Amino acid sequence: MTGCEEMLAEPATYRNALTLGSTLLEYRLDSVLGAGGFGMTYLAWDVNLEKHVAIKEYLPGELAVRALDGSIVPVNTESEYNYKWGLERFVQEARTLAKFKHPNIVRVNRYFEVNGTSYMVMDYEDGNSLHQMLVKATLEEGALLQMLRPLLDGLRAVHHTGFLHRDIKPSNIFIRGDGNAVLIDFGSARQAAGGPTKTLTSVLTPGFAPLEQYSGDGHQGPWTDIYAMGGVLYRVFSGENPPDAVSRLRNDPVPAKLAALRGHVSGASLQAVQWALVLDEKSRPQNVDEWR
């Protein structure tokens, strides 16, 4: 299981990646599964257990670079502070996820520190992200709801620990070969990697992020993830990404867009999306059970 946006091995060359064929502890790096602004994920072979795993490396490209010896080095003194601050959140994310044994939450089996950074070792499974599926075909409402409802159970379990995902979107919902869905790439380290001196607008996903994520002192909670889940449903039903939350303050096309879907999507589903995408977080469902 990977924590990055794409699950399938890609033929592209990743210049900042570790040398393929090299080893990290008992893991041989076979390929790069995906890379984002805050990390890189490898397909690796566990030589002891003789099975594939996915390894996520903390590597925020704006804060650090890879040295010739493979280690990660902050680009300057200010970046070093932010880099270490984000690294602590990455480790916190790994520890939190390692406590979950839920079929719809990415499973972290261990983490370790080497090369001046940290790594999460996760289960690897074949499949596609919801984003990849939507590029190829549309999903019927019934199939979508059957796929996503179990995610709410996982999200509920996460929220009960006081932890938030903070970056739910189609590319972070992975669909296994058997059709079961799992949440990947939790955004705790993603947000923290920006550091306290960096605005959050550069580390969130427009359309799926509610207003409270645009402010450093925004009141975030389970309702924040529910907004993003509403955005996922909006994307599937409408075929378009949700409009950016800030732009909706001036001109909000969401009600009209959802109204146009009547007759194609059930009223209950449209009502759920409308409620989840309310701009005022206090008027949104406050927890998964309320929304469900």
Total count of residues recorded for the chain: 292
Q: Is 167 an annotated catalytic residue?
A: yes
- Of 167, 244, 252, 280, the catalytic one is 167
Q: Which residue has the tokens 């009600």?
A: 255
3-state helix/strand/coil string of the chain: CCCCCCCCCCCCCCCCCCCCCCEECCEEEEEEEEEECCEEEEEEEECCCCEEEEEEEECCCCCEEECCCCCEEECCHHHHHHHHHHHHHHHHHHHHHHCCCCCCECCEEEEEEECCEEEEEEECCCEEEHHHHHHHCCCCHHHHHHHHHHHHHHHHHHHHCCCCCCCCCHHHEEEECCCCEEECCCCHHHHHCCCCCCCHHHHCCCCCCCHHHHCCCCCCCHHHHHHHHHHHHHHHHHCCCCCCHHHHCCCCCHHHHHHHCECCECHHHHHHHHHHCCCCHHHCCCCHHHHC
Residues involved in catalysis:
167
